[in-house]
Structure 1
Amino acid sequence: MVEERPIAWWVKRLDALLEEAVDAVVTGEGLTRRHWQLLHALAAGPADEAAVRAALPDAPGDADAVLTDLVARGWVGRPVADRAGLTPDGAAAHDRVARAVDRVRRHVADGLSRPEYERTILVLRRMVSNVERALGRE
């Protein structure tokens, strides 16, 4: 008999595996997850220091070190003192890593039809909303 596990176990297990898979992709490029978050945020366009910190919501204090490293790699330029943006090399690096991250995301949905995937997202979104409401966060 297959052991039944609660939804929390499956959500945590999936989250851990997704983090491991994305970490493997970015580590292969000599990056950390924080590098990827900032690189991805800057791909949308140049950002001021507040936006750079906001790109790392779990660790805004790491923003300066990550930004300094990306500048040293030549992937980020600072044409104006309080703004940062991707250089052509940074845009190429972003595109390369983004393709690899997208492959990870596609693997998550292997074997699922589009309606199954969309339904899963809908159910998870509803569960999050239910718990937020129960905690008085809505």
Structure 2
Amino acid sequence: MQQQRPVGWWVKRLDELLERGLDDVVAAEGLSRRHWQVLDSLASGPSTRRELATALTSFATPGRVDGVVADLAARGWVEEGAGRLALTSDGRAAHGRLAGAVAAFRRRVAEGLSAEEYAATVAGLARMVANLEREAPGQPRR
């Protein structure tokens, strides 16, 4: 029966499990997956609020991203200067503490898949997204 389910069912179920699993990984720091996504995005360099919201548009509204940024700023992990958000040294340390656990979680997700199978899965999903985006340009994302 499971093999007969459509791709949408599998994508939705995987998303639910990824959300819950990553929340569990970062919970020790009192964080959610959104916190991790903001930390990880800023770990690659400073960003404007707009750039950050755009990068996370598939996961959260700009208001939700701002709320997460405010929480991380209250912890002393994110600072804003000259219109750009950046990790503080404490924020970089927090990212470093979490990065290994997140990487281990990602390895568990892909366990049993060869590098080629994983790449083919991602490529197939990316193609499906591109197909649907091409059919509905300008369609707002949730």
Q: Report the TM-score, using the length of structure 2 for normalisation.
A: 0.79
Percent sequence identity over aligned pairs? 53
Which structure 1 residue ranges, 5 or more long, are not aligned? none
1:85 aligned residue: 86
Q: Which has the larger radius of gyration?
A: 1
**3-state DSSP class of the match of 2:112?**
coil
1:109 partnered with 2:110: yes
> Which is worse superposed, 8-17 or 66-75?
66-75
Over 3 Å counting, the alpha-carbon distance change for 1:111 and 1:3 in structure 2 is closer
Amino acid at match of 1:95: G
- The 5 Å alignment of 1:115-134 reads 115-133=116-134
CA contact (8 A) 2:22 2:32 kept: no
Distance between the aligned counterparts of 1:118 and 1:56, measured in 2? 22
What's the offset of the Cα at 1:53?
A: 3.5
Which structure 2 residue ranges, 5 or more long, are not aligned? none
Amino acid at match of 1:94: H
Aligned length: 136
CA contact (8 A) 1:37 1:55 kept: no
> Which is worse superposed, 64-73 or 84-93?
64-73
**3-state DSSP class of the match of 1:74?**
coil
What's the offset of the Cα at 1:136?
A: 3.9
Q: Calculate the aligned-residue CA RMSD, in Å.
A: 2.4
Amino acid at match of 1:48: T
What's the offset of the Cα at 1:128?
A: 2.4
Q: Report the TM-score, using the length of structure 1 for normalisation.
A: 0.81
What's the offset of the Cα at 1:34?
A: 2.3
Distance between the aligned counterparts of 2:125 and 2:66, measured in 1? 34
